[in-house]
Amino acid sequence: MNLGDFREDYQRGMLDRAALAANPIAQFESWFREATGDKAQSRWRKIGIALFKLWSALCNHRPPDINAMTLATVDHDGKPSTRTVLLKTVDERGFIFFTNYDSRKGRELTENPNAALTFFWSDLERQVCVAGTVEKLPLAESEAYFKSRPRGSRIGAWASNQSEPVPDRAFLESKWRALEKKFPNDVPLPPNWGGFILKPERIEFWQGRPSRLHDRFSYTRQADGAWKVERLAP
């Protein structure tokens, strides 16, 4: 299958050094608000995004999860793996997501805490790439988030030995029903489930531009905690 003719000339925005926030977390939060449509934008950009979303709805396309991100990890043999997970919080510490600690990603992050994230917002023609190290979220924060999840999802966390082989779907559903009876009221936090914080050491912001002359800026954390900002060739 030849995909050479699948091309897009990006023309929906630009990124200038003077417009960047001093802190990359603040810059990310600004772009995230724009991706959700919460931040004020130009009239024509709003119209363009609204038309794109209308077209997607008419074509019965499901809106993307704005907080979806590709998480890359590496095992003890140096072999990488990726999957899509959901960002649940971003603050001055970094990017927070939740998982089963015994899953493949959980095991790999425990063996090798170096990881990377990628966000791609196609309607804005933007990408954010994050690299750094992870550590487990404090237990109290994991418990607080777990309690906010729907009851079915909390039971599902108990029912799924994530990444392990299962004979069929009926096995999972039977296990879920058994746990539903076991926990008729409160569903406690599983001992092998919780959050990770990816503490960024490098964050890159990419804005698509015409003729492949994209705007790219990287923030690199310095020894004193400050951020060095550089424009990169596309």
CA dihedral 28, 29, 35, 39 (to 10 degrees): -130
Element (H, E) at 199: strand 193-207
Burial class from Cβ neighbours inside 10 Å (0-12, 13-18, 19+) for residue 51 reads: exposed
- The answer to whether 103 and 71 are in contact (CB under 8 A) is no
Residue at 217: amino acid letter: F
**Nearest CA among 116, 106, 111, 125 for reference residue 48:** 125
Give the length of the chain. Answer: 234
For residues 17 and 92, what is the distance between their CA atoms, to the nearest angstrom? 22
Task: Cite the active site residues.
Answer: 212
How far is residue 87's CA from residue 187's CA, in Å, rounded to a whole number?
Answer: 23
- CA-CA distances (angstroms) from residue 184 to 170, 179, 188? 21, 9, 11
Query: Cα(147)–Cα(86) distance, rounded to whole angstroms?
Result: 17
CA dist 38 and 34 (Å) reads 6
